[in-house]
Amino acid sequence: MEDGVPFYLQIADLIRQQILAGRYRAGEKLPSVRDLAVELRVNPNTVARAYMLLQTEGTLEGRHGGGSFVTQPEDTTRLLARRTVEAELQKAIDSARRFGLKTSDIREIFEKNLLSTPEDPQP
């Protein structure tokens, strides 16, 4: 695993993407924190932290002693998409504010870019 961004965040991203890609489906069991820790050559607690993060996001459910499971897919995916997009938009808005742009300016730029992209392509 490469550095720059904390391991537990990288791991959370990994799991998220694998779920979105269909690698794990609803109700399916994920690798145990220890197994994944061995595979990724990292401390079990680091994986545990990633799993806990995903739990608070509503992506995972941890059953004490039983394992970790993917929660309902439609909701999860929707929520996941929303969170991701939300975070990225927020980042853009933040730097816009940082540059001193006004709300109306930001909105204008956004609308222009939003409408310049087609409705559904890019799988």
Partner DNA sequence: GCATTTGTATTAAAAGAGTAGTACACTATA
Partner DNA sequence: TATAGTGTACTACTCTTTTAATACAAATGC
Footprint on this chain of a copy of itself (rule: CB under 8 A) = 13, 16-17, 20-21, 77, 80-82, 84-86, 88-103, 106-107, 109-110, 113-115, 117-123
How is residue 29 annotated by DSSP? B
Other CB atoms within a 10 A radius of the CB of residue 86 amount to 10
Burial-class residue 96 by CB neighbours within 10 Å (0-12, 13-18, 19+): middle
Residue 110 Cβ vs a copy of itself, minimum distance, rounded to whole Å: 5
Q: Is 96 among the residues that bind DNA (CB under 7 A)? A: no
Q: Which residues bind DNA (CB under 7 A)?
A: 3, 6-9, 30, 32-35, 42-46, 48-49, 51-52, 55, 62-68
